[in-house]
Chain A
């Protein structure tokens, strides 16, 4: 079973739009798009990469952890804003 979902969250600064593809309860791929500010910029691709294969239940929490582990700095947004966008996208992906 393959599902795809998109969800948007408006942070204090910037819109976070997450698109997720789910296969059998795991994250197949994630794309985090929007007009937010995130530093270093290229850590975003690493976050996306490291979410592949993570279980749907733990993925949002894992995303928040990755932001910390990779030393990502956000301007006008919180890690939980990104997690919330991912949670919404995964839910929609599972709904099909």
Chain B
């Protein structure tokens, strides 16, 4: 039977490290160094912006600073999200398959996202996909996903709003007037709710972890097993953290990924050595 490695590795106090690890394990899976992996992780307080966004256009930076909320940029497109410990992130990195190679976008947004839908069903909800990358229950959004195949292997991550402080979220994220005006588009994005509200009871971290693990296990027809980070993952994360994710050029200035030459050089060396 197919196996799915599960990793609960997280660095909640350091969102830059969390995102460096995210890229590390995605790329090491694409390079065939680690097996198929589902990672579940959290940040204590951070705004994560999309690869094509500019921080000051999406975040009230003074307010973020005042509240001690870090602003970090991820390697996938899409919009800004607020993370606290009530928001649980899932990330899945697989090897390439004939299906994912033939139609990567369909594979990511129509298929791979369904592990998270399974998880919500396991929790007792009736979720559906909306606007390509939103997961909603009724007319409220509970999760948003972003995906990539930039290293020629499928990668998808998303954020589950379990018990996030929505007051902080709305005081920190900027919303474009254009978006609020536009009636063509479902504004589910701006009608977010929490899983604990939908269920009418507290929901624990471990309950969500189990649901995600089962949800992805069922989707992939795989047996899940828990693992620790491999030395290669930690080393790759350290490289990407040091030479990219901790830097303002990356987080605040919308610098293209390829400009971080030292990160790329050291990462390539690590991959060559691991092969």
**Chain A residues near B (Cβ < 8 Å):** 8-10, 12-15, 17, 31-42, 44-45, 73, 75-76
Least CB distance from B108 to A in Å reads: 9
Judge whether B53 is part of the interface by a CB distance below 8 angstroms: yes
Instruction: Please state if B257 and A35 are interface contacts (CB–CB under 8 Å).
Output: no
Instruction: Please state if B149 and A76 are interface contacts (CB–CB under 8 Å).
Output: no
Instruction: Please state if B179 and A13 are interface contacts (CB–CB under 8 Å).
Output: no
Across the interface, name the chain B residue whose C-beta is closest to A7.
Answer: B178
Instruction: Please state if B104 and A33 are interface contacts (CB–CB under 8 Å).
Output: no
Across the interface, name the chain B residue whose C-beta is closest to A34.
Answer: B52
Known: A8-B178, A13-B133. Is A35-B104 also a contact (CB below 8 A)?
no
CA distance A9 to B140 in the complex (A): 24
CA distance A35 to B78 in the complex (A): 4
Which residues of chain B are near A17, meaning CB under 8 Å?
A: 57, 176
For A14, A35, A40, the residue with the greatest tally of chain B CB atoms inside 10 Å of its CB is A35
The residue that B57 contacts in the complex, of A32, A33, A40, A44, with Cβ under 8 A, is: A33
Which residues of chain A are near B176, meaning CB under 8 Å?
A: 8, 15, 17
CA distance A32 to B50 in the complex (A): 13
Which residues of chain A are near B52, meaning CB under 8 Å?
A: 32-36, 38, 41, 44
CB-based A-B contact count at 8 angstroms: 79
How many residues of B are in contact with the other chain, CB < 8 A?
Answer: 33
Instruction: Please state if B132 and A15 are interface contacts (CB–CB under 8 Å).
Output: no
CA distance A86 to B52 in the complex (A): 16
The residue that A39 contacts in the complex, of B50, B148, B182, B185, with Cβ under 8 A, is: B148
Instruction: List residues 52-87 of chain B with CB under 8 A from any CB of chain A.
Output: 52-54, 57, 75-80
Instruction: Please state if A35 and B182 are interface contacts (CB–CB under 8 Å).
Output: no
Instruction: Please state if A10 and B77 are interface contacts (CB–CB under 8 Å).
Output: no
The residue that B132 contacts in the complex, of A8, A9, A38, A75, with Cβ under 8 A, is: A75
Instruction: Please state if A37 and B131 are interface contacts (CB–CB under 8 Å).
Output: no
| Chain B 249-265 per-residue mask, 1 if CB under 8 angstroms from chain A, else 0 | 00000101110000000
Which residues of chain B are near A38, meaning CB under 8 Å?
A: 52, 77
The residue that A35 contacts in the complex, of B50, B105, B256, B258, with Cβ under 8 A, is: B50
Which residues of chain A are near B133, meaning CB under 8 Å?
A: 13, 37, 75-76
Least CB distance from B168 to A in Å reads: 20
CA distance A17 to B79 in the complex (A): 13
Which residues of chain B are near A39, meaning CB under 8 Å?
A: 104-105, 148-150
Across the interface, name the chain A residue whose C-beta is closest to B147.
Answer: A37
Instruction: Please state if A34 and B53 are interface contacts (CB–CB under 8 Å).
Output: yes
CA distance A17 to B178 in the complex (A): 10
Least CB distance from B174 to A in Å reads: 11
Across the interface, name the chain B residue whose C-beta is closest to A11.
Answer: B185
Instruction: List residues 136-165 of chain B with CB under 8 A from any CB of chain A.
Output: 146-150
Q: List 6 A-B contacts (CB under 8 A).
A: A10-B178, A14-B78, A33-B53, A33-B254, A36-B52, A75-B109
CA distance A88 to B266 in the complex (A): 42
Instruction: Please state if B77 and A42 are interface contacts (CB–CB under 8 Å).
Output: no
Judge whether B25 is part of the interface by a CB distance below 8 angstroms: no
Across the interface, name the chain A residue whose C-beta is closest to B77.
Answer: A37
Instruction: Please state if B132 and A13 are interface contacts (CB–CB under 8 Å).
Output: yes
Instruction: Please state if A42 and B256 are interface contacts (CB–CB under 8 Å).
Output: yes
For A40, A41, A73, the residue with the greatest tally of chain B CB atoms inside 10 Å of its CB is A41
Report, nearest first, the 6 A-B pairs whose CB atoms are least far apart. Answer: A35-B79, A37-B77, A45-B256, A10-B182, A8-B178, A76-B132
